[in-house]
Amino acid sequence: MRDSGIERGAAAPRFRYGAPAVTVAAGRPAARWACGGTTLDLAVPRVMGVVNVTPDSFFDGGRFFDRGRALDHARALRADGADVIDIGGESTRPGAHPVSTAEELARILPLVDALASEGVLVSVDTMKPEVMREAVAAGAAIVNDVRALRESRALAAVAATGAGVCLMHMQGEPRTMQADPVYGDVVREVREFLVERATACVAAGIARERIAIDPGIGFGKTVAHNLALLRQLGDLAATGYPVLVGVSRKSTIGALTGQAAPDRLAGSVAAALAAVARGARIVRAHDVRATVDALRVWLAIEESDA
């Protein structure tokens, strides 16, 4: 299995996509993300592979609803170069309806346990505090929350663990978020929201080095809003928190290319590279191999004169 760049002690090797490590912005040292007993080295951008154990996710809903197929897919993504496997048991696509805590746990816990036991860095994509607690107890190292720990008891649930957390911006909630999203200044408002949530995390006992932020591309935003956020990701990177971006296969790619979700690979990879060029340290992707290869080539070109 390819080395992921995950460090579990000073002697652990670092995977650099075949190119020298790069720094984030203007001479600042490259970031690291503390995730439980693991530190993810962000000297180069990392890829988070998506596994949706749902019947209704916008791109791969139903394809990996079977537990065995989901586990095989997660292992394949890891072999393709994913540094993190992000497991979701509840769809957050526009118009999605919630599932019960018991159903979400039944969908994800067997995968979390199996993958964590194999040494995979596992992220759980959930809004529910009980799911967060149970998933971390089963071996998840990251909580990836589209509501940025705003649910009652979510802050306490994560603070009680050593897990890393990704705080995402979402205007509204999944069922209605795309009805008519409006901002005065989307970049400023998203940045202020994420800094406020990160501050609340620190106040609740979650160490700063455990926190990453995500602008929430497609979550209560128009195409114009999404493009503005991607174009000005440097404003988010300047906060000092690692920036995670998930734009893979989303409707914005479809709006720009005219392609349906199955045909948005090229657009998704282009958006991932543009995000990394502007400061993203982690990209969340369905198509891990293509994204890893694109990053390897891009980094080699960027560092060719170093």
**β-sheet with 6-7: strand ranges across:** 6-7, 38-41, 32-35
Q: Which of 306, 219, 215, 230 is closest to 267 using CA atoms? A: 230
Q: Could you list the active site residues? A: 250, 284
How many Å apart are CA 70 and CA 66, to the nearest integer?
6
Whose tokens are 């809004």? That residue is 127
Partners of 297 in the β-ladder: none
Strand positions, DSSP E, 53-149: 84-88, 122-125, 142-145
Q: Is the dihedral of CA 148, 252, 296, 83 positive or negative?
A: positive
How many Å apart are CA 216 and CA 252, to the nearest integer?
12
How many Å apart are CA 171 and CA 152, to the nearest integer?
18
Partners of 100 in the β-ladder: none
Angle 288-302/265-277 helices, nearest 10 degrees?
40
